[in-house]
Structure 1
Amino acid sequence: MEYVIGIDLGTSSVKALLVNREGKVCGEASESYPLITPKSGYSEQEPEQWVEKSLSALRKLVTDSGIEAGAVKGISFSGQMHGLVLLDEQHKVLRNAILWNDTRTTKQCRQIEEKLGEQLLSVTRNPALEGFTLPKILWVQQHEPELFAKASVFLLPKDYLRYRLTGELGMDYSDAAGTLLLDVAGRRWSPEVLEAFGLDESFCPKLVASTECVGTLLPEMAEQSGLTTDVKVFGGGADNACGATGAGILGPGETLCSIGTSGVILSYEENASADYAGKVHFFNHAEPDAFYAMGVTLAAGSSLSWFRDTFASGISFDELLAGAATVPAGADGLLFTPYLSGERTPHADSAIRGSFIGMDLRHKKEHFTRAVIEGITFSLRESIEILRSAGKQIDTIVSIGGGARSELWLQMQADIFNAEVVRLESEQGPAMGAAMLAAAGLNWFSSLKECAGQFIGKAASYQPSGEQVKLYNDLYPLYKDVYTSTQSLNRKLGPFRS
């Protein structure tokens, strides 16, 4: 039997997934690493930790599965997006990586908007947000000029890991699209953006396709991982592109709802002609010559985790959701907005904060739980509405993550989204997408679509209920009003937050 390995380099841990030619998961291993937060709003990691922990996960995977090392034919990657890794001329790391959830770059975002104007959206297809890579580059350039003068090239997290494993520099299109330096439609580094900020194209790594073979394991990396130097290594993709691939979002009309710490609505786009005016992200897909539009709720699953940890400590999520199922839709007039970390789509507002609206003496813990999951789902609907208002038809949505582990929540998604919601047989997320990129790169399949037919199965579907759809349609405008009504109040409360 032959195998591929998908490596998902996340924010808190790395996961390695072993998959055979039939798409069966034959093993998995993970290792965690710390977050470095030297100041409020700062979020960094030591890149060498990614390498050390990935090698450890690979060794564990090979040992625990009991396979022959030579049976692994390919490796590919999924990675946390946007994180800045700076290398000097000897390709040594110059500083800790600045991660996607670092918020120190608001000033640099405004500078980018001022300098590029309308060109920013027309070329990069995305607004300037603190999470993206270019603002981080400008921050280092302005605050650490002596260090920046030594920088010869930048990489994103999974690209640094791939470089250390193979000795080859490169970045795939789906991850490059999140840098604000890529001409997304033209699939090239933008000369206009580079020139505007005095950056040479040599500062950017070579662009590669997600299924492109970029090399093989270096001898020392093969030895440390328990694999062989014959293993082919492929470009890989951004975590959301790989998550979409691993869920089979590989054709027109296919849409994904992913509820993890954050929440994502992601829809496949055939070409770059779709224009959402920057209201949602627009990135290159891991699927060749394809794209995806994506809206983000910053505190999706984390809103439910916060509620449980704060008000229902010691109660499992299953118990919490079972209680919510006893409460009618609409939580007896209680609304929640999940703005605990600010919001991304559709507001891009770092100052807004969450609210419970409509509390009265009848409301119990079960009502609050239901209101929280309804509020998270209403927030995700806002991204769906942006896509629909641009003429996109969304009738079926594949649901993954924590929101797909509850029958109550799956039916709620169907009713609030007014669409069929599908649950997968075996959900492995971005790691499975990375494994599929390796399988397609090895030509086990003629396309990622064919690979998905073998690797991905649908377990159940949930249809919208007419009565519930009407109730949620009536509540939805009230949910949206909460943002408008509390925006000014939250800005005034800002100075009182420690």
Structure 2
Amino acid sequence: MPATYLLGYDIGSSSIKASLVQSDSGKIIASATSPDKELPMDAPQEGWAEQHPDLWWEHLVKATHQLRQANAEALKQVAAIGISYQMHGLVVVDKNQQVLRPSIIWCDSRAVQTGEQAFNELGQDWCLSHLLNSPGNFTASKLRWVQANEPQIYEQIHKIMLPGDYIAMKLTGEINTTVSGLSEGIFWDFKSDSPSDKLLDYYQIDQSLIPEQVPTFGEQGKVQYGVAEELGLSANIPVAYRAGDQPNNALSLNVLKPGEVATTAGTSGVIYGVSDQLEYDSQSRVNSFAHVNYSQDEPRYGILACVNGTGILNSWLKHQLLLDRLSYEEMNQRAQQAPIGSAGVVVLPFGNGAERPLANAEIGAQIGGVEFNTHNTSHILRAAQEGIVFALKYSLDIMEAMGMEVNCVKAGKANMFLSPIFREAFANTTGATIELYDTDGAAGAARGAGIGSGEYANPEEAFAHLQQIDQIEPDSDKQSAYAEAYEHWLEALNQHL
């Protein structure tokens, strides 16, 4: 019997990634990323962030062509496709499935006031107990912003989608979404287990704009003939899994059970824990969504703490401050020359839109405590990495106040976790053991497709070959120094709140 393969796509705001996974062995046999440099984000006004969905599709095609060059025969043997995507974005299409405006993506802040007004007028207790969140700066509030500010576009909308729904539509020609997706857009009422009539009525949004729901794991449509020909696939392959990038990152690390925790530090940084309790933060600084394995009978909630300014800060330092003179590895080596605490230099990494852990404040990124006769680039580079870790620790403190105990976190060895400084700072500041695995979002989406298509009988089978490649334990000799540095960082943060 010939080997079968699973294809996963990760639709990020920085790049599009694709992975081919051999289903029996679980091995990643080919990976591709497009473009080579970060995708651009358009900012028509301060605090806005947009990307055109056509850009995602263009680079999905290019990444798939890279896979075809690497292993065309395996691509032809793909049995199912999974999609991971940047969360909270808004895509709107007309009856001909034509995009009506660029997507308002996750780090866009234009709808903050809209969501805050809804939070107060709908009632904070009702929002938190039914939606688990403030409507905040999420997809529903972004749609309300379009309705209020671009009525001529709103009138043409046939369906609204999240970024992953758009990619599935391009592949299959069908428009649908998932419960997990609707919950991340703050459209889902967890008490009625249905789209929220009360929120939609308040925002004057016609429920017909919401796509029909399909299971997170299961057939969501089949690849159209013309698309299959363009990509080098066989026609009628099922799209069998779809999830936002953070629930999918948790899946890729086999984080599915209550008490398990995943983390990632790409463009943004996230700590994501799984719970079976209906938990929420009273200020909605940490957010709760339906996890990928959520069901009414066995509810599983993803508790998500997100810091927008993570890898994007490191990228900004590389491209703008250092003018690309150092690679990321050289930046890490330079950072190691500075001591724990960066000799008093403090970096607040909040320069990428409204920050949820700060109650949607936009304080901008800050570099402080610099002494011209004492400090150099090594101190700033280390302070940046420590600042990212401290911002995640700030979010983790909120999660722990909700009752989540974090002793061990799982992460893919990628992005900021490639840095020894970052790993050391994370373990010693949080006190948690870090387990690193050889996986990524695209590979996780591929394995999710294997679960959804029946290639795997269950998640245990899907992740039987997941390999732990490193483990970082807190170092008692360094924890007090990191604790002192974190307190210094908190003092600087509180001056801006």
Same fold (TM over 0.5): yes
1:394 match: 406
Q: Aligned partners of 1:97 and 1:308: how far apart in 2?
A: 27
Q: Which residue of 2 aligns with 1:354?
A: 365
State the 1:114 CA deviation. 3.6
Pair 1:173-2:179 in alignment: yes
Aligned to 2:247: 241
C-alpha change, 1:18 and 1:46, in structure 2 (3 Å) is same
Corresponding position of 2:87 = 81
Pairwise CA distance, 1:236:
0.7
Q: What is the distance in 1 between the residues matched to 2:353 and 2:51?
A: 23
Q: Give, in angstroms, the shift of residue 213 of structure 1.
A: 0.6
Structure-1 separation of matches of 2:22 and 2:394? 39
Equivalent residues of 1:188, 1:207 under 8 A apart: no
Query: Deviation digits for residues 335-357 of structure 1, max 9, x if unmatched?
Result: 32222335524213443133344
Partner deviation per Cα, 1:229-256 (whole Å, 9 max, x = no partner): 2311124111111111112222222212
CA distance in 2, matches of 1:356, 1:243: 30
Is 2:390 aligned against 1:378? yes
The structure-2 alpha-carbon separation of the partners of 1:413 and 1:356, relative to structure 1 and needing over 3 Å to count, comes to same
Q: 1:202-230 deviations in whole A, cap 9, x for unaligned? A: 22111222211122112222222221223
- Partner amino acid for 1:369? L
Alpha-carbon displacement from aligned partner over 1:36-72 (angstroms, at most 9, x marks no partner): 4444433333333433442343344234313155411
Deviation (angstroms), 1:405 = 0.8
Equivalence for 2:481: 471
* Range with bigger deviation, 155-164 or 477-486: 477-486
* Helix, strand or coil at the partner of 1:214: coil
Contact 1:330 1:472 in 2 (8 A): yes
Structure 2 residue matching 1:109: 3-state secondary structure: helix
Deviation of 1:416 after TM superposition, in Å, equals 0.7
Q: Quote the Cα distance in structure 1 between the aligned partners of 2:244 and 2:81.
A: 15
1:423 matched to 2:436: yes
What does the per-residue CA deviation read over 1:290-319, in whole Å, with 9 as the maximum and x for residues that have no partner? Answer: 221111112112223333444434122222
Contact 1:4–1:439 (CA under 8 A) maintained in structure 2: yes
Aligned to 1:275: 280
**Cα 1:87/1:333, change in 2 over 3 Å:** closer
SS at match of 2:220: strand
Report if aligned partners of 2:13, 2:86 keep a CA contact under 8 Å in 1.
yes
Q: 1:246-265 alignment to 2 at 5 Å?
A: 246-265=252-271
Query: For 1:36 and 1:145, how far apart are their aligned partners in 2?
Result: 21
Task: Write the distance in 2 (CA, Å) between the matches of 1:63 and 1:371.
Answer: 42
The answer on whether the counterparts of 2:271 and 2:304 sit within 8 Å (CA) in structure 1 is yes
Residue 2 of structure 1 pairs with residue 4 of structure 2: yes
CA 1:31–1:309 in 2, change beyond 3 Å: closer, same or farther? closer
Q: Does 1:157 align with 2:171?
A: no
Letter in 2 for 1:16: A
2:355 aligned residue (321, 328, 344):
344
Pick from 274, 290, 312: which aligns with 1:302?
Answer: 312
Mapped pair 1:404 → 2:425: no
Q: Does 1:23 align with 2:29?
A: no
Find the partner of 1:115 among 116, 121, 143.
121
Indicate the residue corresponding to 1:495 in structure 2. Answer: none
- State the AA in 2 paired with 1:431: A
Q: Distance in 2 between matches of 1:309 and 1:57?
A: 24
Q: Is 1:126 the equivalent of 2:137?
A: no
Q: What is the one-letter code of the residue matched to 2:181? A: D
Which residues of structure 1 form unaligned runs of 5+? 488-498
CA offset at residue 440 of structure 1?
A: 0.6
Compared with structure 1, are the counterparts of its residues 412 and 230 closer, same or farther at alpha carbon in structure 2 (3 Å cutoff)?
same
Q: How many residues align?
A: 482
Q: CA 1:143/1:367 → structure 2, altered by over 3 Å: closer, same or farther?
A: closer
Contact 1:4–1:73 under 8 Å retained in 2: yes
Pick one of 332, 335, 359 that aligns with 2:343.
Answer: 332
Q: 1:453 to 1:91 in 2, by over 3 A?
A: same
Question: How far has the Cα of 1:9 moved from its partner?
Answer: 1.5
What's the RMSD between the two structures over aligned residues? 2.2
Q: CA deviation at 1:263?
A: 1.0
Whichever residue aligns with residue 337 of structure 1, its letter is L
Distance 1:58 1:332, change over 3 A: closer
Deviations, residues 149-179 of structure 1 (Å, cap 9, x unaligned): 2323211122122122212221122222221
- How many percent of aligned residue pairs carry the same amino acid? 27
Amino acid at match of 1:160: Y
Does the alignment pair 1:438 with 2:449?
yes
The answer to whether the 8 A contact 2:115-2:141 is kept is yes
Instruction: For 1:49 and 1:307, locate their aligned partners in 2 and report how far apart those are by CA, in whole Å.
Output: 25
Contact 2:159 2:211 (8 Å CA) reproduced: yes
Is 1:365 the counterpart of 2:371 in the alignment?
no
1:5 positional shift: 0.2
